[in-house]
Structure 1
Amino acid sequence: MAIDPGAAEMMRDDLSALDGISEKKMFGGLGFMRGGHMLTGVMSTGALLYRVGKPREAVALALPGVAVMAMADRVMGGFVMLTGEAQADDDSRARLLALALENVSELPPKE
């Protein structure tokens, strides 16, 4: 399944003001990295993916349209997806990105 170009462009726009962002094909989708750590992504289903970390997962899941991320029926702790019409909400995307940035800032540097 191809990556939804509209979802990928939306994520690129949301990340455009940040430095150190790179793209990497992964999980059948597209991952956006910062400092070598996965920050966000676009899944092949068109869902937007955010790596918020387990301590912030409940806060993220309280937002409309946010669900746990699962691959092959396995829940991926600390990752959430924004799906459907909720993706059009700039505030929700900004809040999820802020949670993901906070999470990545707490991770050890990669060499």
Structure 2
Amino acid sequence: MAYDEELAERIRDLIEPGPDVTEKKMFGGLAFLIGGNMAVAASRQGGLLVRVDPAEGDALIDGDSVAPMIMGGREMNGWLRVTSAALPDDTTLREWVDRGVGYARSLPAKR
């Protein structure tokens, strides 16, 4: 399954463009990077992948629409999977995008 192109466009509309913002196809989805650090992605499995402060990740998990990202059978600390159903409007999507972008901006830029 390919990533949701409509969701990718909604994300694109919410991220302020700049020289440090790039898009890259990763893991079958479309990732949005800030300074080379992935912030959010339209997932090939549907929904959104969001990078968050690992210290805050557990508090955001609700076990239904927000869950830890699992890769290779293991939970990825600081990465969340948000279902499409949990992103009904741009206000909700903006909250998640802003969270991911904010965390990615707090990290040192990759060269």
TM-score normalised by structure 1 residue count = 0.82
CA distance in 1, matches of 2:60, 2:13: 20
Tell me the amino acid that sits aligned with residue 31 of structure 2. G
Tell me the amino acid that sits aligned with residue 50 of structure 1. V
Using CA pairs below 8 Å that are at least 6 residues apart, which structure has the higher relative contact order?
2
Percent identity between matched residues is 35
Q: Give structure 1 stretches of 5+ with no counterpart.
A: none
- Could you give the per-residue CA deviations for residues 27-64 of structure 1, whole angstroms, max 9, x where no partner exists? 11111101111111011112211101202213432597
CA distance in 2, matches of 1:57, 1:98: 15
Equivalent residue for 2:101?
101
- Report if aligned partners of 1:29, 1:44 keep a CA contact under 8 Å in 2: yes
- Report if aligned partners of 1:70, 1:76 keep a CA contact under 8 Å in 2: yes
User: What is the SS of the residue equivalent to 1:88?
Assistant: coil
- Report if aligned partners of 2:54, 2:77 keep a CA contact under 8 Å in 1: yes
CA distance in 1, matches of 2:69, 2:36: 21
TM-score normalised by structure 2 residue count = 0.82
CA distance in 2, matches of 1:91, 1:63: 21
Matches within 5 A, 1:1-111: 1-15=1-15, 17-19=16-18, 20-62=20-62, 65-111=65-111
Superposed CA RMSD in Å reads 2.1
CA distance in 1, matches of 2:106, 2:35: 11
Tell me the amino acid that sits aligned with residue 100 of structure 1. G
